A and B are shown apart, each in its own frame.
Chain A
């Protein structure tokens, strides 16, 4: 990493600059795989996506094909989805239920834990071949869960997941506590891409500063939609959760299925929301219930997991395949016991703001892609300014850039470490 790709941070003077080469440089992109994606804990999936023994799904994580399974005993496994024989993808389906997986090339069959169960023409191999460790599907080096959130790590050694998550752990727990019976990923995945650097989406996912300008049409829409807005003002704080994780936590005027009523939901809705809130208070106490129901959180778990608990809850993860291109997957998370009526509002809320067809995300995409195009200016225009709120008395506001600085400091630290 050269001087031109290091951040410039000067707390005393309130100066924080990010070099634009961090978004465009091929060498930085390759270093990010070494320093970050091959060493950090990365989100794989949610327990509810593998609802029963035998369930499986396939997913690309940091450019690698991964097979995520639950075996007959219910144990979860993460396998590199490549046949030990010639390397073909073993499982070619997106999800389903199966006790075993057969490679379509030569018919080797593997169990849900990746062990080689059978192979045609076994007589052509010496005794003991089938149990040779090299002939088994390779597990991802580490798989750990935090509640129902599963993470993988491609490095054999390093801190455990709970240590890595640091203060973000309690916020993941908070999202799980929306429900007494457990949270579930709702069917249907938003799978898209952006022609921009992945770090632009990390920044954008918890940028409280851009909404008034970038999302003016969304805010106007909410005002037009009769009763979609309550009277709560936008106000809150930014928090550094350590290890590069950070969030903004704030009150907002929109409705939250758990559990902030807006007039649009009517009197019946008011009673249902009140009952949900009362149950939260009983289960978790006043303080936690209030945070769950009335506070919004946009959180980035370094490097690329976004949990936005806003007008709905989204789990979003994204990976670069080039400095100027990323692939994104986004899911909706909801309480299992949610009523049909409220689930409908949740999905209505989600699609209203979030995702490629929403009233807000397309304009985020536009901003990200236009940043990427603007970086081609190069020359003297080589730094982004991320200093907002650095010298604010009393700590950073939700619409400052403290949370992004936490991300960037960790990014810089990790890249410097592989360079050294």
Chain B
């Protein structure tokens, strides 16, 4: 099969697996999809999310791997009130485009994430920018940026789930 097509299928498989784990709140397994020096970012809506630098602009989320792990730990606790009991979550991932930059694979995909809890139901719409590397034969995520294609986080109020 065409190598590029094969690569895209592999990346799609990874993104779908990631979405599925998040939907099922299997967050430890979700974390295992990332490299040990991974980052997870959600920029705000009034900067160019594709290029903004989390060290220079205020983001919604700027997690290094330590904080990603802590986020997972926090979300497993009763004291994470915003997500206790857990929301019903559904990640839809589509329009996956893949390009390779040497050993680095960059993918760009569209998402809609639905969060339902109590009397609220919110949709997060945007695109994912994943940086993926091959580690010991498996693909791992080194960086995940969730760019919201929204004018503001309204009425959502929170990104208490993982996008």
A interface with B by C-beta (< 8 Å): 94, 186-195, 214, 216-218, 220-221, 224-225, 325, 327, 331-332, 340, 343-344, 347-348, 350-352, 355-357, 359, 361-363, 365-367, 369, 373
Identify which of A340, A347, A362 contacts B58 (C-beta below 8 A): A347
Measured CA separation A367–B157 after assembly (Å): 12
| Interface residue B123 (Cβ < 8 Å from any Cβ of A) | no
| Interface residue B126 (Cβ < 8 Å from any Cβ of A) | no
Chain A residue numbers with a CB within 8 Å of B60 are: 190, 351, 355-357
Shortest CB distance B152–A (Å):
4
Chain A residue numbers with a CB within 8 Å of B82 are: 362-363, 365-366
Contact B70 A191 (CB under 8 A): no
Identify which of A188, A194, A357, A359 contacts B47 (C-beta below 8 A): A188
Contact A188 B46 (CB under 8 A): yes
Can you show 25 pairs from A to B with CB atoms below 8 A apart?
A188-B47, A189-B58, A190-B44, A190-B60, A193-B154, A193-B155, A221-B73, A224-B70, A327-B152, A332-B58, A347-B55, A347-B57, A347-B59, A347-B62, A351-B62, A355-B60, A356-B156, A356-B159, A357-B60, A363-B81, A366-B81, A366-B158, A367-B81, A369-B157, A373-B119
Main DSSP-derived SS at the B contact region: loop
Chain B 99-126 interface 0/1 with A at a Cβ cutoff of 8 Å (1 = within):
0000000000000000000111000000
Measured CA separation A325–B120 after assembly (Å): 13
Measured CA separation A325–B60 after assembly (Å): 21
Chain B residue nearest to A95 in the complex (CB): B46
Contact A347 B54 (CB under 8 A): yes
Chain B residue numbers with a CB within 8 Å of A361 are: 158
Shortest CB distance B158–A (Å):
4
Chain A residue numbers with a CB within 8 Å of B52 are: 187-188
Contact A195 B80 (CB under 8 A): no
Q: Which are the 5 A-B pairs with shortest beta-carbon distances?
A: A188-B58, A188-B57, A357-B60, A362-B82, A191-B152
Chain A residue numbers with a CB within 8 Å of B153 are: 190-193, 356
Measured CA separation A332–B71 after assembly (Å): 22
Chain B residue numbers with a CB within 8 Å of A192 are: 152-154, 156-158
Q: A217-B80, A362-B80 are in contact. List 5 more A-B contacts (CB 8 A).
A: A188-B59, A191-B44, A191-B46, A191-B153, A357-B59
Contact A195 B155 (CB under 8 A): yes
Contact A356 B59 (CB under 8 A): no
Chain A residue numbers with a CB within 8 Å of B46 are: 94, 188-189, 191
| Interface residue B42 (Cβ < 8 Å from any Cβ of A) | yes
Chain B residue numbers with a CB within 8 Å of A332 are: 58
Chain B 120-163 interface 0/1 with A at a Cβ cutoff of 8 Å (1 = within):
10000000000000000000000000000001111111111000
Most chain B CB within a 10 A radius of its CB, from A94, A221, A331: A221
Chain B residue numbers with a CB within 8 Å of A347 are: 54-59, 62
Chain A residue numbers with a CB within 8 Å of B80 are: 217, 362-363
Measured CA separation A362–B118 after assembly (Å): 15
Chain B residue numbers with a CB within 8 Å of A187 are: 47, 52, 56-58
Measured CA separation A366–B157 after assembly (Å): 9
Given contacts A217-B79, A221-B70, A347-B55, contact A194 B157 (CB under 8 A): yes
| Interface residue B61 (Cβ < 8 Å from any Cβ of A) | yes
Shortest CB distance A12–B (Å):
36
Shortest CB distance B162–A (Å):
10
Contact B70 A348 (CB under 8 A): no
| Interface residue B94 (Cβ < 8 Å from any Cβ of A) | no
Chain A residue numbers with a CB within 8 Å of B74 are: 217-218, 220-221, 359
